[in-house]
Structure 1
Amino acid sequence: MTTTAPLSLLDLASYLPERRVPAEYFAEYAENDDLAGSVMFRAPAFRHHAADGETSADMICSSARILLQRHGDDFLDDVDVVLTHSQLPEVPIRGCGGEVAHRLGLRPTKVLDVHNGGCAAFIHLIDLARGLLAAGGGRTALIALAQNSASQIFTQEQVRGKPQAAIPGDGAAVAVVTLADEGGSPILGSACHSYGEYSGDMTGVSYPPRKYWEAGSGQIHIGFTEAKIAKVLARGNRMVPEVAMEVADAVGIAPPDLDWFITNQPNRIFLRNWREALELPESRHPDTFDECGNLFAVGIPVTLDTAITDGRIGTGDVVMTAAFAHAGDFAGAAALRWAGRP
C-alpha cells in the first residue's frame, strides 16, 4: 500500500474504433449453449470493433493524438518511461511499446510491455510507473493500453455464436503520470494484490484441442464452464470492494463519501454488486458498458475519460478506481483527486 508517493496524473485520453456493433449481430449467430442464460453473458446494446488490420499500436497512437491535439505537439516530449499493455499482442514475444514510442517520436530510457494485470492493468501500470520513476527512472511516464481482441477473437466463425462473444469491445487509452511536485491530479493511494493460486482458472481452449501456437481447425476462445463462472463471480464480488475499501481506509475516506467509483465492467451484475458493497448510488458509479461492452484493461480509463470530458467529474473530486483480473489472479485499486486538465 502506498499513500504518499508523489505521483500525479497529468491527463488521459481514450479512443474507440469507428465500427459500432449492435447486439443483434451476435444474436443472429447465437447457439443453443448451456451458458446462454448466465448472468455473466447478458449482452450490452453496443460495442466497438477494431477495423481489419487496426493494431494495438494504431489504437494507442490514436489516443495519444487526442492528448497532443489538446495540449500541443510537445506534451509528450518529456516522457522517460513507456508502459504498454495489449490484450492480444499481434507479434509473439514482444508487445507494441517500442513501436508506440517510435511512432510518437519519443526517446524514453525504458520501454516495458506488461502482459499481466488484465482488467486491472491501468492500476497495475500506475503502480509500476511510481516504482520506476521513484527509483530514478525519470520523472514522467506514458501509460498505454489497448483492448483489441473483440474483433479478432470473438467474431471468429466458431466463437461468435457463443454467449461470451457479445460481451467484449475494443478500444484504447493513454495516460501521462509524473513525479512533479506541482500540477496534475495526485494519486492519493493505491494497492495491488496477486493471487497466483487462481491464475490457472482462465484458459484458452479450442475444439479440437490444440496449443495456441499450433496450426489447427479449432478457433481459440475462453474456456468457461458453470463451475468456473461461479468461482469468478464469487471472487470478483469480494475482491473489488475489498481492495477499494483498503485504499479508502488508507487515505482516510469512508467508501460512501467517495465522489466517484470507477471499475472494470465485465457485466451489469458485478457493477451493481460492487457499488452496493461500497454503499454508493448508481449515479456515482459511472460505466460505459452499454456503449462499449467489456473493455478489459481499457474499461477504467475510457470511463474515467468519458466522465471527465462530459463534465460529471469536477475539480477536487475524489475518484476511486478498482478492478480484478482474469479469473481473480490480480486485484488493484487507486484513488486520485481530480485537479482538472492542465
Structure 2
Amino acid sequence: MSTPTLALADLATYRPANRVPADYFAQYAETDELADSFMFRAPTFRHHATDGETSADMILAAARTLTDRHGTDYLDDVDIVLTHSQLPEVPVRGCGGEVAHRLGLRPEVVLDVHNGGCAAFVHMIELAGALLTARGGRTALIGLAQNSAGQVFTQEQVRGKAQAAIPGDGAAVATLRIGDGRNPVLDTVCRSYGQYSADMTSVAQPDRKYWEAGPGQIHIGFTESKIAKVLARGNRMVPEVAIEVADRIGVRPAELDWFITNQPNRIFLRNWREALELPEDRHPDTFDECGNLFAVGIPMTLDAAVDDGRVQPGDVVMMSAFAHAGDFAAAGALRWTGRS
C-alpha cells in the first residue's frame, strides 16, 4: 500500500507594523571588530514586534489570514499543532498550547519544536507528516515566530553591535493535509550535526548564564573564528541537502523552478544559488525588506512569491536551510498547484 501524500494546503505570514530602517542602528553604531564582516551587512529594512507582542500573538495574526481567506471553520479539523518560537517567553515551554487554545482547537498532539532553527519550517513539515501518518490524522497546523529582533537586538548594550541590524521579526503558519491533492510535498531531508551544537553561544559582559541576574545584556557570541566556521558549513550544507532532495525527486538542481532558503545575509544567498547554478530571479528573497527572519524566512519568502504571482501552478519549489552554527540542515520540495 502506498503512503498517502502529504500536501501543504496553504500558508500565511505576518509582518509587524513597525518597519525599522537601517538608520535606526547606524545612529548607535559602535567600534566593533566585526563591523566590516560581510555577515553583518545590514538590510534596508526589518520589522520589529511591538513591546509585549508575543510569539502566540504573531502566530495568531498569521492564522487570521488563513481564516479570513477560507472561512472561520478552516482550522476546525486540525489534529496536530506544531510551533516554533525563536525566543520562548517562558524558558520551560513554547507557545503551542496557548496557540491551540486561543484558536479554539482540540488537537490530539501539541508539540513545541525548538531545535530546527532556521530550518524549522521544513523540519516541521516532515514531523507533521510523520505524526499524521502514524496517528491516522488528516490535518496539521504549524506556526513559527521570530520575535527576538525587537527584544534582544534593540537592547541598549546590543543595538550598537554589527549583529544587531540583521534580524527582523515576523511569523508564519501553514496547514498540512494527508491525501489533499494540492501542493504535494515531494520529499524532505533533515540532517543533524550535533558536533557543531556548542558553537552557537549567548554572551554578556560581564559573563553570566542567561537566567542569572546581572548588568550585561545577552546577545549572540560571534567571533572571527566562529564566523569562518559558520560560513564554511552554511555554504556546504544548504546546497548539499537541496541537491540530495532534487536527486531523489528526479529533478536536476539547475532545472528547479524556485529555490527558497533562509535569509542570513546576501553573501550566503549568492553562494547558494551559484552552487545550484540558478539565476537570481529563481532564488527569491525577502532580506532587504525583512532582514534575517530565521525560521520564518522560508515561509515568508514563499508566501510573498505566491502572492505576487511569481510561483505558478506546476512549479517545483525547493526549500533549504541550515540552523544555528551548522548543527542542523533540512531541505524539502513541493509541487505548487495553488492555494486550497
Give the Cα separation in 2 of the matches to 1:324 and 1:135. Answer: 27
1:237–1:273 contact (8 Å) kept in structure 2: yes
- SS of alignment partner, residue 172 of structure 1: strand
1:304 aligns with 2:302: yes
1:104 counterpart letter in structure 2: L
The aligned residue for residue 142 of structure 1 is: 141
Q: How does 1:41-60 map to 2 (within 5 A)?
A: 41-60=40-59
Deviates more, 1:128-137 or 1:74-83: 128-137
- SS of alignment partner, residue 336 of structure 1: strand
The aligned residue for residue 12 of structure 1 is: 11
1:120–1:331 contact (8 Å) kept in structure 2: yes
The aligned residue for residue 66 of structure 2 is: 67
The aligned residue for residue 183 of structure 1 is: 181
User: 1:4: Cα distance to partner?
Assistant: 6.6
1:81–1:137 contact (8 Å) kept in structure 2: no
1:26 aligns with 2:25: yes
Give the Cα separation in 2 of the matches to 1:120 and 1:206. Answer: 26
The aligned residue for residue 86 of structure 1 is: 85
The aligned residue for residue 332 of structure 2 is: 334
The aligned residue for residue 240 of structure 1 is: 238
Give the Cα separation in 2 of the matches to 1:277 and 1:95. Answer: 36
Give the gaps of 5 or more residues in structure 2. none
Give the Cα separation in 1 of the matches to 2:267 and 2:114. Answer: 27
Task: Report the aligned-residue RMSD.
Answer: 1.0
- SS of alignment partner, residue 185 of structure 1: coil
2:245 counterpart letter in structure 1: V
Give the Cα separation in 1 of the matches to 2:135 and 2:90. Answer: 30
CA shift in 2, pair 1:137/1:223, >3 Å: farther
TM-score, normalised relative to structure 1: 0.98
TM-score, normalised relative to structure 2: 0.99
Give the Cα separation in 2 of the matches to 1:52 and 1:220. Answer: 18
User: 1:91: Cα distance to partner?
Assistant: 1.1
Percent identical across equivalent pairs?
76
Q: What is the CA deviation profile of residues 132-168 of structure 1, one whole-angstrom value per residue up to 9, with x for unaligned ones?
A: 1110151110010000000000000000000000000
User: 1:184: Cα distance to partner?
Assistant: 2.0
User: 1:5: Cα distance to partner?
Assistant: 5.9
Q: How does 1:266-281 map to 2 (within 5 A)?
A: 266-281=264-279
1:109–1:137 contact (8 Å) kept in structure 2: no
- SS of alignment partner, residue 152 of structure 2: coil
- SS of alignment partner, residue 140 of structure 2: strand
- SS of alignment partner, residue 184 of structure 2: strand
1:320 aligns with 2:334: no
Q: What is the CA deviation profile of residues 30-68 of structure 1, one whole-angstrom value per residue up to 9, with x for unaligned ones?
A: 011110000100000000000011000000000000000
Aligned structure 1 segments of 4 or more residues deviating by more than 4 angstroms: none
Give the gaps of 5 or more residues in structure 1. none
Q: What is the CA deviation profile of residues 48-105 of structure 1, one whole-angstrom value per residue up to 9, with x for unaligned ones?
A: 0000110000000000000000011111011000000000000120110011001111
User: 1:286: Cα distance to partner?
Assistant: 0.2
Q: What is the CA deviation profile of residues 290-342 of structure 1, one whole-angstrom value per residue up to 9, with x for unaligned ones?
A: 00000000000000000001100011100000000000000000000001012
CA shift in 2, pair 1:5/1:265, >3 Å: farther
